[in-house]
Chain A
Amino acid sequence: MSVASIEVCETPLVLYTLRRADDALILGHRLSEWCGHAPMLEEDMALANMGLDLLGQARELYGYAAKVEGRSNDEDRFAYLRDVRQYRNLLLVEQPNGDFARTMVRQFFYAVFADLYWRGMMRSSDTTMAAIAARSEKESAYHVRHSSEWIVRLGDGTEESHRRAQAAIDDLWAYTGEMFAVDDSERGLIDRGIAIDPAALRAPWLKTIAAVVGEATLALPGNDWMQKGGRDGRHSEHLGHLLSELQSMQRSFPGATW
C-alpha cells in the first residue's frame, strides 16, 4: 500500500450515504468473487448480474456523498482510498462467500431488508436519495425473488443442501441485527424525513424471512444476541483481505486508468 488514505468529512448525511454505498460495494464485490466459480453457468450470470446491480447503486451513492461533502473526493477515492476502519458497511455483507448456500442466505437476509428499505426511501425528503431508491428498489425486488427461490430449494432439497443452508442461517443470523440499528447521527436525518427509521422494517423483514425459511423446512435461530460495529468502522477480519484485493491496483498505481 503506497498511497495514503483520504480523509472524509463525515457530516451526518455524508456518513449516512457512505454507509449505504459501502453496503452495496462490498456485497457487490463479494458476488463478483463468484465470477467463473458458480455451481452452474446460469447461476454465474445471475450472481454477476446482482453484483453489477449493487455496484451501480454504490456508484450513485458515492457520487452523491461526494457532492454533499463538497471536497475533492469522488466515487473512486471513496472506494479505493479508504482503509478498513473508514468503511461503514454492515458486517453481514463482508462475510465470506463460503459455499453457495451461505452466499444465498447472506443475499437473502440483505435483499429482503434492502427492498423494504429502498421502498421506504422512495418517500425521502431528499430528492436524490428518493431517486436512487426508486431505481434500486426494482433491483432489490429481484434479488429477493432470486435468493428466496434458492433458499426454498436448498432447504427443501437434499440432506446436504438442507444442512448447509441451515448452517449458513445459524452462522449469519447474528449479523442481521445491525441492519435495524440507529445511532444519533442517523436519528437527526430520520427526524428531518431524509432517512427512514429502519427499526420499523424489522417486523416486515422477519415476516418475509420466516415465511421463506418455513417453506424451506429450515428454522430460524432462537438467539437474539447480535453483532455490531460495521457502521462505526469496527469490522470482522474479512474486510481487510477483501479491500486489499479491491484496492490493490489504485494503491499500487495511483490514478491508473484504462
Chain B
Amino acid sequence: MATPNSPLWEVFIRSRNGLAHKHVGSLHAADATLALQAARDIYTRRGEGLSIWVVPSNAITASDPSEKDMMFEPAQSKIYRHPTFYDVPDEVGHM
C-alpha cells in the first residue's frame, strides 16, 4: 500500500511497568494527530502501553552505519569505564 503523501513517524511506547518510552516501530500518517491515533490502533491494541510518543522520522539524526568502527570500536577496549571494579557498600542499596 503506497502512501506517498504520508510522512513516516517513529513510535515510542511507555509500557505499564516501564519508566522510559521505548521505540516500537514506525507508521505512515498525514500529521501528528493522526499519527498518534494510528500508533494507538497499531501498537497498543493488546494493552501494551500507557503513553505514546510519535516523532517525525526525518527529525531523527542517525549515525552512519559505515562509520561504526570509528564511532564504537574505541569503546570496546576500555573495560575500565564500566563501574565493575568497585565494591558497592550495602548501605547504598539498589543502584
Contact = CB atoms under 8 A, between A and B. Distances in A.
Interface string A41-59: 1110110010000000000
A171 interface: no
Interface string B26-50: 0111110110011011100100000
A153 B6 CA distance: 13
Contacts of A149: 33-34, 37
A40 B34 contact: no
B5 to A, nearest CB: 10
Chain A, interface size: which category? Answer: 10 to 19
A138 to B, nearest CB: 13
B37 A145 contact: yes
A146 interface: yes
Interface of A: 39-43, 45-46, 49, 142, 145-146, 149, 153
Nearest to B43: A45
Contact of A40 (B6, B33, B37): B6
Chain B, interface size: which category? Answer: 10 to 19
A42 B38 contact: yes
B41 A45 contact: yes
Nearest to A43: B38
B37 A153 contact: no
A45 B38 contact: yes
Contacts of B28: 40-42
Interface of B: 1, 3, 6, 27-31, 33-34, 37-38, 40-42, 45
Contacts of B1: 39-41
Contacts of B40: 142
**7 tightest Cβ-Cβ pairs between the two chains A and B:** A42-B38, A46-B41, A40-B3, A45-B41, A49-B41, A45-B42, A42-B27
A153 B30 CA distance: 9
A43 B39 CA distance: 11
Contacts of B41: 42, 45-46, 49
Contacts of B3: 39-40
Contact of A46 (B6, B33, B37): B37
19 contacts: A39-B3, A40-B1, A41-B1, A42-B27, A43-B38, A45-B38, A45-B42, A45-B45, A46-B38, A49-B41, A49-B45, A145-B37, A146-B37, A149-B33, A149-B34, A149-B37, A153-B30, A153-B31, A153-B34
A142 B44 CA distance: 14
Given A39-B3, A149-B34, 5 more contacts: A40-B1, A46-B38, A49-B45, A142-B40, A153-B31
Contacts of B45: 45, 49
A46 B3 CA distance: 16
A3 B55 CA distance: 54
A160 to B, nearest CB: 13
B29 A42 contact: yes
A176 to B, nearest CB: 24
A65 B40 CA distance: 32
A41 B31 CA distance: 16
Contacts of A145: 37
A43 B3 CA distance: 12
